[in-house]
Copies of this chain bind each other. A is one copy, B any other.
């Protein structure tokens, strides 16, 4: 039960969020970074290593597409295994969130 996934949650939140965004439609790193920057204050320098890692892990695949406003965009698309990862990470997150809330208790 005390899987390493559980332990990795703190690091895994960003990955999970990116997976969640991609589950709603293909997207490219720069736009993902902008959304995440607004939402949770993620820096742009974070996204590219993250995306590469996810690609290496087989969670996403990529394709290029012209944009007409700058260099061609590299779109990322969820793979099946990415979708599975999303599902399991979300449930891990919920467990974690619950545990934290329990610890916080009436402090909140």
Tell me if A23 and B103 are in contact (CB < 8 A).
Answer: no
Number of copies: 2
- Report chain B residues within 8 Å CB of A93: 100, 104
**With contact pairs A107-B20, A108-B90 given, residues A102 and B39 touching in the complex (Cβ less than 8 Å):** yes
Does A2 lie at the interface of the complex (its beta carbon under 8 Å from any beta carbon of B)?
Answer: yes
* Smallest Cβ-Cβ distance to A107: which chain B residue: B20
B6–A104 CB distance below 8 A: no
By DSSP majority rule, is chain A's interface helix, strand, loop, or mixed? helix
* A64 CA to B43 CA, complexed, in Å: 43
Which residues of A are at the interface with B, using a C-beta cutoff of 8 A? 2, 6-7, 9-11, 13, 16-17, 20-21, 23-24, 37, 39-41, 43, 86, 90, 93-94, 96-97, 99-100, 102-105, 107-108
